Amino acid sequence: PLWCDKVLLRASRRVEIAYFSHSQITRLYSRFHSLDKGENGALSREDFQRIPELAINPLGDRIINAFFPEGEDQVNFRGFMRTLAHFRPVEDNEKSKGHDASEPLNSRNNKLLFAFRLYDLDRDDKISRDELLQVLRMMVGVNISDEQLGSIADRTIQEADTNGDMSISFSEFIKVLEKVDVEQKMSIRFLH
Amino acid sequence: MERGAKERNQQLYKPCSNGIIAKEPVSLEQEIQEPRGGGGEFDMSDILYFCRRGVESIVDDEVTKRFTAEELESWNLLTRSNYNLHHISARLTVLWGLGVLIRYGFLLPLRVTLAVTGVGLLVVLTSIVGWLPNSRMKKYLSEKVNLMCYRICVRALTAIITYHDRYPKNGGICVANHTSPIDVLILASDGCYSMVGQAHGGLMGFIQKTLVKACPHIWFERSEVKDRHLVAKRLSDHVADKTKLPILIFPEGTCINNTSVMMFKKGSFEIDCTIYPVAIKYDPRFGNAFWNSSKFRMVTYLLHMMSSWAVVCSVWYLPPMKREEGEDAVQFANRVKSAIARKGGLVDLLWDGGLKRSKVKEVFKEEQQKLYSKVLVKLLSLR
């Protein structure tokens, strides 16, 4: 449709276009549009929850949350692309080099920050024991007892916490995951 | 055009190959057991697997795209199939305009006339046959009348159908993948079946009542549909009567867009009889046969069908199957579904077609959680 092209033109002036080729943006827009049942140019949380594979993902709600900016209930196409840009593989960085001084969205650091924020619900830049427990509970359901889960959480914090404040900061988080191939685990291969 | 289409029908249709992303086929167990960050059983990197899978499903999932029309690789000059194909040149627009003239000015009126004739004849002739006393003559006449009228209706859609591998049918249940109400016409114009469905009101209901006079179809009242035992009993009774025709059932329960076969409801597979699977595949280049019932009403859909270029499809009859020892209804249903999917070149999915309208059940999320917990507990025991 004609108005779709206008959106693409406007989007092309933003930084997000550096992460995706023109044909990829077209396909992503088509996907965005098919998810947008209300046809109002923005996605709500219900639109995401309609995807069965996402609805059965234990971390589904947290992932959906990551798309929505602080306190908002709608995400537009630009925001949609911006979040997806985190999952671009790392070697495809040539296009985004030199745009500005800040790091590209799909750098290892930014991928780790994305994962960190899945834990850190209150955005205080620390993963508390409660926040860790919440995520653990989401992932195991009813299959592990409170005591066992509690001790798993305690052990995890103990091993990661270096400054003794009983919570995990972002730099401690990075240290814990330094041997993990984050680039591969947090990348999606976009075709064309 | 007919002959050309018939030649091309011989190969399986190539599925649309332009996906957005390439998904890695790694399982939960494989990925989580790779080198871990910490030394414990739970690793903070475990969420990365779920996170990536979640985002992958946001970009491209296997289910929601089955409920809208299939995307075409190149345009077929129908406005309704034009999603992202932007290169509109002047020459193409002229061609399209010419197409509109031909389709709406010539093909559509011709087809509507044929359709009305076909349905009218069907109603009149089956009423006449219905008055006859039950005898072999009645059965023979009823078959001939039905076949003739359905064939007229099929012509009304300019349906070019290629049937492959016929097997003689002896009662039993015939199952097929469901894309649109036209599936019924396509199969009924090649063989005689007893149809199963909900009793409607209005014109449809009138047609149903007339048809059942000549041929033993099974129409259920809306209230009866909920009662699974009643449904099963009526089907079993019909099947047990050897003089009756095979029943035609679409176990998906809803229309799917002909790129995949979704979960078969086990009801028809619990009955003790032979199953005759049929695979139906439409060629999307000539027109989109999928009925998106949330977007279009039946009348709009039929108009679309009659103003497309044609309805080109292949029907493969598969060898009859019976439930094996030790196999339960669900396993049998899946086996039949896989056979149909393989023959028709469709993707075999375990997801329920009912997800078109309803939310996925919590139990599937619980399965994922159970799987992850198993991995954790195993690692805990290795400590």
Per-residue model confidence (pLDDT) at position B3: 47
pLDDT in tens, B260-276: 999 998 888 888 888 99
Interface probe for A, chosen from B24, B44, B260, B263 (most Cβ of A below 10 Å), is B44
* Residues in chain B closer than 8 A to A188 (CB atoms): 21, 52, 55-56, 59
| Residue B218, H or E segment | strand B218-220
Picking from B21, B37, B54, the nearest residue to A63 by CB comes out as B54
pLDDT < 70: residue spans in chain A: 1-17, 91-101
* CB spacing of B58 vs A51 below 8 angstroms: yes
B249 to chain A, minimum CA–CA distance in Å? 26
Band of residue B278 on the pLDDT scale cut at 50, 70, 90? very high
Question: What is the pTM (predicted TM-score) of this model?
Answer: 0.80
> Is there a contact between B356 and B294 (Cβ–Cβ < 8 Å)?
yes
- Give contacts of B 195-214 with A, CB under 8 A: none
User: Which of the pair, B5 or B179, is modelled with greater confidence?
Assistant: B179
> Is there a contact between B210 and B139 (Cβ–Cβ < 8 Å)?
no
R_g over Cα of chain A: 19
Per-residue model confidence (pLDDT) at position A15: 58
* CB spacing of B54 vs A60 below 8 angstroms: yes
Q: Residues of chain A with pLDDT > 70: what percent?
A: 85
> Is there a contact between B335 and B321 (Cβ–Cβ < 8 Å)?
yes
Per-residue model confidence (pLDDT) at position B100: 84
Helices (H), chain A: 2-11, 22-35, 45-49, 52-55, 60-67, 77-85, 108-119, 129-140, 146-160, 170-176, 182-185
> Is there a contact between A10 and A16 (Cβ–Cβ < 8 Å)?
no
Q: Which residues contact B129 (CB under 8 A, 6 or more apart)?
A: B138, B141, B142, B145, B213, B214
* Residues in chain A closer than 8 A to B21 (CB atoms): 188-191
* CB spacing of A187 vs B41 below 8 angstroms: no
Per-residue model confidence (pLDDT) at position A117: 92
Whole-number Å distance between alpha carbons of B186 and B201: 24
Q: Which of B193, B236, B199 is nearest to B219 (CA)?
A: B199
Interface probe for B, chosen from A84, A155, A176, A185 (most Cβ of B below 10 Å), is A185
* CB spacing of B65 vs A5 below 8 angstroms: no
* CB spacing of B373 vs A144 below 8 angstroms: yes
Whether residue B381 lies within 8 A of chain A, CB to CB, comes out as no
- Give contacts of B 318-377 with A, CB under 8 A: 351, 355, 359-360, 364-370, 372-374, 376-377
Picking from A53, A178, A188, the nearest residue to B63 by CB comes out as A53
User: Which of the pair, B163 or A10, is modelled with greater confidence?
Assistant: B163
Picking from A31, A141, A176, the nearest residue to B369 by CB comes out as A141
Whether residue B30 lies within 8 A of chain A, CB to CB, comes out as no
Stretch B269-294: mean pLDDT, rounded? Answer: 87
Which residue matches tokens 């086996």?
B335
Per-residue model confidence (pLDDT) at position B8: 44
Q: Which residue of B has its CA nearest to A140?
A: B369
> Is there a contact between A155 and B36 (Cβ–Cβ < 8 Å)?
no
User: Which of the pair, A125 or B203, is modelled with greater confidence?
Assistant: A125
DSSP letter (8 states) at residue B104: I
DSSP letter (8 states) at residue A180: S
pLDDT in tens, B97-108: 888 888 888 888
Strands B311-317 and B275-282: antiparallel
A99 to chain B, minimum CA–CA distance in Å? 26
Whole-number Å distance between alpha carbons of B222 and B324: 33
> Is there a contact between B58 and A51 (Cβ–Cβ < 8 Å)?
yes
Virtual torsion, Cα B336, B337, B341, B347, nearest 10 deg: -160
Tokens matching residue A123: 């955005």
Q: Say how many residues make up chain B.
A: 383
Per-residue model confidence (pLDDT) at position B360: 87
* CB spacing of A140 vs B369 below 8 angstroms: yes
- Give contacts of B 49-88 with A, CB under 8 A: 49-65, 68, 71, 83-84, 86
Q: How many CB pairs under 8 A join A and B?
A: 174
> Which three-class secondary structure string do you get for A1-27?
CHHHHHHHHHHCCCHHHHCCCHHHHHH
Picking from B20, B39, B53, the nearest residue to A57 by CB comes out as B53
Q: Say how many residues make up chain A.
A: 192
Lowest average pLDDT, out of A4-18, B6-20, B150-164, goes to B6-20
pLDDT in tens, B231-244: 888 888 888 887 78
Tokens matching residue B3: 């002959």
Whole-number Å distance between alpha carbons of A154 and A25: 44
Stretch B271-297: mean pLDDT, rounded? Answer: 87
| Coil, strand or helix at A189 | strand
* Residues in chain B closer than 8 A to A56 (CB atoms): 360, 364-365, 367-368
Per-residue model confidence (pLDDT) at position B82: 59
Q: Which of A95, A108, A110 is nearest to A180 (CA)?
A: A108
Q: Which residues contact B13 (CB under 8 A, 6 or more apart)?
A: B281, B283, B284, B314, B345
Band of residue B210 on the pLDDT scale cut at 50, 70, 90? confident
> Is there a contact between B313 and B282 (Cβ–Cβ < 8 Å)?
yes
* CB spacing of B37 vs A177 below 8 angstroms: yes
Q: Is the pLDDT of residue B36 over 70?
A: no
pLDDT in tens, B107-140: 888 899 988 888 888 888 888 888 888 788 888 8
> Is there a contact between B227 and B259 (Cβ–Cβ < 8 Å)?
no
Whether residue B237 lies within 8 A of chain A, CB to CB, comes out as no
Band of residue B6 on the pLDDT scale cut at 50, 70, 90? very low
Q: Is the pLDDT of residue B83 over 70?
A: no
Per-residue model confidence (pLDDT) at position B332: 93
Task: Please list, residue by residue across B8-17, b when 16 or more beta carbons sit within 10 angstroms of its beta carbon and e when fewer do.
Answer: ebeeebeeee
Strand partners, B348: B261
Q: Is the pLDDT of residue B2 over 60?
A: no
Average pLDDT of chain B is: 82
> Is there a contact between B118 and B159 (Cβ–Cβ < 8 Å)?
no
Q: Which residue of B has its CA nearest to A5?
A: B86
User: Which of the pair, A80 or B76, is modelled with greater confidence?
Assistant: A80
Q: Is the dihedral of CA B233, B263, B184, B6 positive or negative?
A: negative
* CB spacing of B364 vs A56 below 8 angstroms: yes
* CB spacing of B20 vs A190 below 8 angstroms: yes
* CB spacing of A155 vs B364 below 8 angstroms: no
Rounded to 5 degrees, what are φ and ψ at A114?
A: -60, -45
